[in-house]
Structure 1
Amino acid sequence: VHSLKDLPVEESPGLTIGAITSRADVRDALVARNGWTLATLPNGAIVGTSSTRRAAQLLAHRPDLTVRSIRGNVPTRVRKVLDGEYDATLLAVAGLERLGLMEHVTALLPLALMLPAPGQGALAVQCRADDMQTLQLLAAIDDRAVRAAVTAERTFLHALGGGCSAPVAAYANFDDSATLRLQTLVAATGGQSEIRVVKFSIAPTPITQTPDLLSIATTLGQEAADEAMAQGATNFLAGLAHAIAPPTTDAAPQNAAKPLAGKRIVVTRAETQADGFAGALADLGATTLRIPTIRIEPLVDLTPLDQALQRLDQYSWLILTSVNGVTIVAERLAALAIPAGVQQGVRIAAIGQSTAAALAAHGLTPTFVPER
């Protein structure tokens, strides 16, 4: 399952898109400090985006802003804004909604100001092209109208020779009269100029029963691309490597000498605890992929833990082997009204510095922390 906007327009040999599901909100959103909107961002504010499409449209509207590349997944980018590394960032509404992060949105950007990437808001289910059984099953969740719309968008992108990183935007949708309307944009990376093309195609009704619907969509996308190229769109697609400062390619020579350069490492920690470890690996040159295989949940039955804590003065040592352990022990000590002074006569060991820091945050001082 892919976010369609990130799926290459060239299909991989042996694979096909078996279904495209109903589309989510296609708009982009602003996540900014201090509740700023696009209108109230101060002059020179630093906006993080690695999308040339977003950067070009943003600078066309607010040329006084400073655009810098930003790395990390969606939660990481939101956190970088909240931590003050950037004043704002631009993100897809669909992704923010799926991750439950809409509370951080300070402005929704209208399509007239920020046209989305081809396929944005749609999910694509990819499978083997010769797997007829799976294809039949996927047909039940395939939205033909959405497939036609994104086909027009992706045909436009493909015809221009662009990929996911090109400053190309496109959005197609059917209106109530079964007219497929395609809006497209090709922008100069600095936002100084742009080419907009709007095309229409009337499909026979009802849409879902039109056998040549995808052909209509493909033709529409190609016609829009031809018109854009006639206006000089290909000139805008040159020189993309240095579109956003600092270019992301600058990191390659620096990472080459690092011990984990070229390594892809899966981080399996819980999502809420992966940042520190993933960041340390990235500092050593690794490319990290976060796939949480665990999550931390409260104990169902607290009785055994409570009984042990109430007998704490019978023990010589309390050994804590994780931050998670510190959290639950501290919570139960407070709930049982056992004062922090209970550690008198009971020595506390922490397995490492992070666990020791968590203890200190709860007013508990470890007696022993191993150096290694």
Structure 2
Amino acid sequence: MSMDDEFDKGTGPRRFTYRELSRATNNFSEGGKLGDEGFGGVYMGLLTESNTEVVVKRVSRGSKQGKKEYIVEVRIISQLRHRNLVQLIGWCHEQGEFLLVYERMPNGSLDSHLFGMKLHLTWTVRHKIAIGLASALLYLHEEWEQCVVHRDIKSSNVMLDSNFNAKLGDFGLARLVDHGLGSQTTVLAGTIGPVEANEEPSRVRLVEWVWDLYGKDQILEAVDKRLNMEFDEQQIECLMIVGIWCCHPDPTVRPSIRQVINVLNFEAPMPSLPLKLPVPMYFAPALSMCRFSYTSHLTGSSVKDQTQYSSSNCTTYNSSQSAGSSKALLNSRTTVV
């Protein structure tokens, strides 16, 4: 089945011609460019027939990853319907161009308010945004016919409508998982946080800092000073504790999104977390020695063992067979959520 035939199936987003979208964006005028996002530019547009303001994402020409994300985006988000998800209005792939058309969000992205110069958000609005985003994730993880793993949730992908309702967008890295099979993926994806591993040692990662304050029973010191102490203390403490719970280094300890919502709505007790951020542990998977060599780095020593097996001597190496390599501390303390 061709891409055209697949995208045209069913109801939902419609196909646009390149001419329509070129006219809507004034030939992709730089004056109407809102910025660059991932593998392309984002433009303001106006569909003259319906007098509808839209946002058009234009994938960079020749970008194989951009094309891949375009296909994933149309396949997945075109089937989803939830008040806290950005609506995909249409799509176009003509003349070597790949274009996505979204509803316009008058208040832009969440990051522009938190880190930019846009309107300051009150605690009531911030709490509503958090609850809305959690509602979107509940739909994606549990309520749709398959589990949708977004894999790139960040403030720049959370859009705000005219009433500051949160709408999650950019599903280019999303994956579908059958319910009951878990949410493991084969590779890490998404965007690394603002403090990288090569930054100066004096910089502290956000999760480490908040967890440290939690352990000292001083978590309210992490509250944004711009709120001027105008917030619901019980709500904000609950939200921050749930936040570090979701960032627990052990994925098996992290809550489901349904647990998150129950706690945020005070329908379940808050978790009792360790007073110090647990040290991430890595359990090496079993490797087939027919195809791989296994290298063991022992924490705190310079030992490096490497064993290669030929296909004529085929065995499976399990990390539990080696006391030295069954539990290796991660050198990096970056948490991917």
TM range (shorter): under 0.3
Higher relative contact order (CA 8 A, sep 6+): 1
Q: Please report the TM-score for the alignment, with normalisation by the length of structure 1.
A: 0.20
Which structure has the highest helix share of the two? 1
Greater C-alpha radius of gyration: 1
Q: Please report the TM-score for the alignment, with normalisation by the length of structure 2.
A: 0.21
